[in-house]
Chain A
Amino acid sequence: MAVGERVASWVGQPLERLEDEALLRGEGRFMDDVEPVPHAGHAAIVRSPLAHARIVGLDASAALAYPGVLGVLTGADVAAMSRPFPAGVDSPIPYYSAAHETARYAGEPLAVVVARDRYVAEDAAELVEVEYEPLEPVLDPEQGLVVSDRSFAYGAVDEAFAAADVVVHGRYPFPRWTCCPVETYGVICDWDAAAGALTAWANFQGPYTLHSVAAAALGLRGSKLRLITPRDSGGSFGIKATVYAYVVLIGLASRKLGIPVRWTEDRMEHFAGSATATGRITGLEAAFAADGELLALRYDAIEDVGAYVRAPEPATLYRMHGSLSGAYRVRNVATRNRVVLTNRCPTGLNRGFGGPQVYLALERVMDTAAGQLGIDPAELRRRNLIRAGEFPYRTATGGLYDSGDYEACLDRALELGRYAERRAEDAGGRLLGIGLACVVEPSISNMGYITLANTAEERADSLPKSGNAEGATVSVSALGGITVRVGTTPQGQGHATVCAQIVADALGVSPTEVDVLTELDTSTSAWTVASGNYSSRFSGVGAGAVHLAAQKLEAKVQAIRDHLGEDSLPLRRVAGIAHWNPDALPPGMEAGLHETAFFAAPNLAPPDENDRVASSAAHGFIVDLAVVEVSRETGEVTVLDYVTVHDAGTVLNPALFEGQVRGGFAHGIAPALFERVVYDEDGNLLTGTFMDYLCPTGPDLPPLQTAHLETPSPFTPLGAKGVGEGNTMSVPVAIANAVADAIGREDVELPLTAPRVWELLA
């Protein structure tokens, strides 16, 4: 719909994106478009070609002599000028923004060459001579260096297994995969020697805890690291969280050289040296009663975080802690969580963040169990789903599920996917399969969950954490212009549109009368360590903070009208008075119209002494149904039909909601059928370009049917829950289940590419 229409409430309308006109005009302001400081030098990074090597010598003299080169920063400089990045668990291997004595993955930065342009910088980078002494790389996660090993048990797990009629178990490796945003990392750094401060422009996405991590590495107090994001970001899906390591590296180059320095990551650097999702091997045992009741779950997760524990890791492993039981009522849950280092690129955020890995195991186990119990897979799930009357529901591991009607979603998906009819059909010799996935989609992370990597005793020594708050500012100028400023760092999701809808409702104006600033500036925006765009938190806390700030402002406007006895006084006049004539304001009222609000979810607390944690504030629910056909001849998997039914609470903008569902679906199809990051036995990256890293494009995506229910969350201001990641959690396992069903084998391993499926059929 367009903004010209009149509606009772803008929230809930499929308003066209206010961001799109600039983008369609080619007037987006992405990292490479901004030139906030003149005369910046251009950086190229020298990277290790070896997965593990001692650096015997590094000679930059030829590079420094190359015409146009402005200077070189080496790993030795980095070691001298900065501190290791802090992380959630102690690691014997400190992580710096560049390697000094030992390179630990192919692609690790060793030096930064700064020149008058990128061409010269790359020419000179080739002249940096590095002498290596190769070391044996460690690539098998099961042989990796264990840096954290914690075991958790909730309820009576051993007793439940002893009493079980059927026990199923499996080992579920989830491939490393990555986000592939169109725009890669970009950083501009300007060191101010007089102030001892760094200003950095970067397409960072949050969480802003990582601002603190970067400031700590630079040895700066937070206010001395001013981090500013550009208006537009060309996608992130999680990966741009870790651009912070390059803020430090390029910041040190600026500091050493005494000039501003800019760096734009190229695609090969992005594949080799940005981040990927973790490689996880999940062992899972499940105990069932003969009637299908799920009695207990026992996980054993080995999380390969690559060469270093890079903050926010090991968060991927703990993000789902409160949701290890998924959508089911099981009260006995145990897990062993091991974090290991290997000689691969360090890991980071990727849409779904721990969810795809957990659900691959849990929902595969449900299908395997259904077969062994002789119960239909949909029926087995139905018997174990949390009932609509049980919310808010406290899980065994401490999660607090806010609201939902899981059975209604399941019914809708089965109906749309013609489940009963299809199950009864004769395949006629074709390899047809149906796969289901029931997935609880957590949103709005509790930053405290990461502290579970430490014991309760260890946690007692540090500040308890439950960070999740977001801030927003709504102000009205003397002429009545309305400005909203948020710290949600959108990367294409349409935050500005939704913010305008919310403020339009609160102030009784049109969304076009609301100007939204989404550039986050750590020196001037309202933000907290939890700010940013991750854990699908915008619709809950981001939009919630905007709503509260707008309500505060509207309350003040109304108080002024009441005081003046002019109930219909236009906003423009109220603003004029607030700015020009404070004398007319109610006694004791502050001048101006400028309101900031912060919102923190009321249901999040630090982990308790029994290691229970409400790891997220809101929980949506998804049921997916995939129908596939496998070719006996070629192993090709064709998705004939795909249904996804969502309940993510109140829908703020149905068009944007649908976009998130379709985007999450594409992102989930990727590891299901196409993508994996592959290293050879020497640690060389084999999938270093889009030729071998099979990121699907539009024509590769199957058709999708969507439907949604709305059960509002009681814990967010607008009743909304996140919807950005759910399908990335559900699609990989729904496809795996469908292929397993089609070919009659349990050992399906992602991605299910044609050659790999053919090997299973052979």
Chain B
Amino acid sequence: MKPAPFRYERPDTVEEAVSLLTEHGDEAKVLAGGQSLVPALNMRIARPAVIVDVNRLPLGRVDGGRVGALVRQADPRLLDHPLLAEAIPFVGHFVTRNRGTVAGSLAHADASAELPLCLALLGGSIVTSRGREVAAEELFVTHWTTALEPTELVVETVWPEPEAGVGYAFCELAQRHGDFALCAAAAAVGNGETRVAVGAVVDRPTVLEVDPDAPGESAAAQVDPYGNLHASAEYLRSLVRVLVDRAVARARERAS
């Protein structure tokens, strides 16, 4: 479990980082918190020729819902949003949250990750080094794949403020504390709207149109999960029903 040889670069500015990414293209990989990349390097699953360590970039600001790309998942300023306050304790363990970044989780785009699911539910976006803003629904393409170009860096993530009259809820079932979810569901209910998103049972965090009177049932009908080592497809589909119902019920209660 030692990484294959790589060149290590540690730029001080976004411009330098982008120039390194431009120079090395597919051969380069961005290192932020390293909580996914470093294990992948050690297991030699990832073998980039160049590591671009962005930890010195000045991207640690939080301004309302605008969160700099190097803000760690443990940052207490994130807890102002009720959905994030509920979801973040499910993100790995506190020691991994101390290093792991919000933007890194979004860019890594694990389909079972909590933060991408929250961004999708809230209709948030990211801002990149090219100055463009990419909405969550375009950002997440499929497993570990985003709409970002190899030479493009996330500089900021944008989280819509909580709406008055809307309740938020996040539920997930994992087999151990801090594990990847078998299924996760988030809901925002209020002002005549019921918004639901699910993760882990889909190839990317997915917002579903649900029947407000039977949210779980209607959500379960729209997903087609694959069984895995731990759980059958039937079980995962059943979890969608249970967790979506729980999330909607909890969000509805909080809205009133």
A residues near B (Cβ < 8 Å) are 118-119, 122-123, 126, 266-268, 633-636, 674, 678, 686-687, 689, 691-692, 694, 696-697, 699-700, 753-755, 758-759, 762
Taking CB atoms, residues of chain B closer than 8 Å to A635 are 235
| Partner among A123, A700, A759 whose Cβ is within 8 Å of the Cβ of B235 | A759
Q: Are B1 and A753 in contact (CB under 8 A)?
A: no
Taking CB atoms, residues of chain B closer than 8 Å to A633 are 238, 242
Q: Quick one: which of B18-76 are within 8 Å of A by CB?
A: 43-44
Query: CA separation between A699 and B33, bound complex, in Å?
Result: 24
| Partner among A266, A686, A696 whose Cβ is within 8 Å of the Cβ of B176 | A696
> Nearest CB to that of B234 among chain A residues?
A762
Q: Are A118 and B2 in contact (CB under 8 A)?
A: yes
Q: Quick one: which of B162-178 are within 8 Å of A by CB?
A: 173, 175-178
Q: Does B132 contact A (CB under 8 A)?
A: no
Q: Are A755 and B1 in contact (CB under 8 A)?
A: no
Q: Quick one: which of B225-250 are within 8 Å of A by CB?
A: 229-232, 234-235, 238-239, 242
Query: CA separation between A541 and B4, bound complex, in Å?
Result: 49
The answer to whether A700 and B229 touch (CB under 8 A), given A266-B1, A267-B1, A758-B238, is no
Query: CA separation between A123 and B3, bound complex, in Å?
Result: 9
> Nearest CB to that of A118 among chain B residues?
B2
Q: Are B176 and A687 in contact (CB under 8 A)?
A: no
> Nearest CB to that of A755 among chain B residues?
B231
Taking CB atoms, residues of chain B closer than 8 Å to A694 are 175-176, 179, 230
Write the B1-12 contact mask toward A (1 if CB under 8 angstroms, else 0). Answer: 111110000000
Identify 15 new A-B residue pairs, CB closer than 8 A, beyond the known A697-B177, A755-B182.
A119-B2, A122-B44, A126-B44, A268-B43, A633-B238, A634-B242, A689-B43, A694-B175, A699-B177, A753-B175, A754-B182, A755-B230, A755-B232, A758-B238, A762-B234
Taking CB atoms, residues of chain A closer than 8 Å to B231 are 754-755
Q: Does B180 contact A (CB under 8 A)?
A: yes
Q: Are A674 and B1 in contact (CB under 8 A)?
A: no
Q: Are A674 and B175 in contact (CB under 8 A)?
A: yes
Taking CB atoms, residues of chain B closer than 8 Å to A119 are 2-3, 5
> Nearest CB to that of B177 among chain A residues?
A699
Pairs A-B, 5 closest by C-beta atoms = A755-B231, A699-B177, A266-B1, A119-B2, A755-B235
Considering residues B3, B43, B175, B182, which has the most beta carbons from chain A within 10 angstroms of its beta carbon? B175
Taking CB atoms, residues of chain A closer than 8 Å to B175 are 674, 694, 753-754
Q: Could you list some 21 contacts between A and B, CB below 8 A?
A: A118-B2, A633-B242, A635-B235, A636-B173, A674-B175, A691-B179, A692-B229, A694-B175, A694-B176, A694-B179, A694-B230, A696-B176, A697-B177, A697-B178, A699-B177, A700-B177, A753-B230, A754-B173, A758-B235, A759-B235, A762-B234
Taking CB atoms, residues of chain A closer than 8 Å to B239 are 634
Minimum C-beta distance from A687 to chain B (A) = 7
Taking CB atoms, residues of chain B closer than 8 Å to A700 are 176-177
Taking CB atoms, residues of chain A closer than 8 Å to B177 are 697, 699-700
Taking CB atoms, residues of chain B closer than 8 Å to A691 are 179-180
> Nearest CB to that of B246 among chain A residues?
A633
Query: CA separation between A123 and B82, bound complex, in Å?
Result: 47
Query: CA separation between A634 and B1, bound complex, in Å?
Result: 36
Taking CB atoms, residues of chain B closer than 8 Å to A753 are 175, 230
The total of interchain contacts (Cβ-Cβ below 8 angstroms) comes to: 60
Query: CA separation between A400 and B98, bound complex, in Å?
Result: 55
> Nearest CB to that of A44 among chain B residues?
B2
| Partner among A266, A636, A674, A759 whose Cβ is within 8 Å of the Cβ of B232 | A759
Query: CA separation between A633 and B230, bound complex, in Å?
Result: 17
Query: CA separation between A697 and B92, bound complex, in Å?
Result: 13
Query: CA separation between A700 and B174, bound complex, in Å?
Result: 11
Q: Are A123 and B5 in contact (CB under 8 A)?
A: yes
Q: Are B229 and A686 in contact (CB under 8 A)?
A: yes
Query: CA separation between A689 and B179, bound complex, in Å?
Result: 12
> Nearest CB to that of A753 among chain B residues?
B175
Taking CB atoms, residues of chain B closer than 8 Å to A122 are 2, 4, 44
Q: Are B229 and A687 in contact (CB under 8 A)?
A: yes
Minimum C-beta distance from B226 to chain A (A) = 13
> Nearest CB to that of B183 among chain A residues?
A634
Taking CB atoms, residues of chain A closer than 8 Å to B232 are 755, 759
Query: CA separation between A692 and B174, bound complex, in Å?
Result: 12
Query: CA separation between A696 and B177, bound complex, in Å?
Result: 8
Query: CA separation between A556 and B43, bound complex, in Å?
Result: 59
Taking CB atoms, residues of chain A closer than 8 Å to B1 are 266-268
Q: Are A634 and B2 in contact (CB under 8 A)?
A: no
Minimum C-beta distance from A553 to chain B (A) = 48
Taking CB atoms, residues of chain B closer than 8 Å to A674 are 175-176
Taking CB atoms, residues of chain A closer than 8 Å to B234 are 762
The answer to whether A678 and B229 touch (CB under 8 A), given A636-B173, A694-B175, is yes
Query: CA separation between A699 and B177, bound complex, in Å?
Result: 6
Query: CA separation between A755 and B2, bound complex, in Å?
Result: 35
> Nearest CB to that of A698 among chain B residues?
B177
Taking CB atoms, residues of chain A closer than 8 Å to B242 are 633-634
> Nearest CB to that of A633 among chain B residues?
B242
> Nearest CB to that of A673 among chain B residues?
B175
Considering residues B4, B173, B180, which has the most beta carbons from chain A within 10 angstroms of its beta carbon? B173
Considering residues A674, A687, A753, which has the most beta carbons from chain B within 10 angstroms of its beta carbon? A753
> Nearest CB to that of A122 among chain B residues?
B2
> Nearest CB to that of B230 among chain A residues?
A755
Q: Are A697 and B2 in contact (CB under 8 A)?
A: no
Taking CB atoms, residues of chain B closer than 8 Å to A126 are 44
Taking CB atoms, residues of chain A closer than 8 Å to B176 are 674, 694, 696-697, 700
Minimum C-beta distance from A518 to chain B (A) = 29
Minimum C-beta distance from A412 to chain B (A) = 32
Write the B173-203 contact mask toward A (1 if CB under 8 angstroms, else 0). Answer: 1011111101000000000000000000000
Minimum C-beta distance from A667 to chain B (A) = 15
Query: CA separation between A266 and B1, bound complex, in Å?
Result: 6
Minimum C-beta distance from B248 to chain A (A) = 15
Minimum C-beta distance from A49 to chain B (A) = 13
Query: CA separation between A678 and B2, bound complex, in Å?
Result: 25
| Partner among A266, A267, A634 whose Cβ is within 8 Å of the Cβ of B173 | A634
Minimum C-beta distance from B250 to chain A (A) = 14
Minimum C-beta distance from A264 to chain B (A) = 10
Minimum C-beta distance from A66 to chain B (A) = 11
> Nearest CB to that of B245 among chain A residues?
A633
Minimum C-beta distance from A668 to chain B (A) = 16
Query: CA separation between A691 and B175, bound complex, in Å?
Result: 10
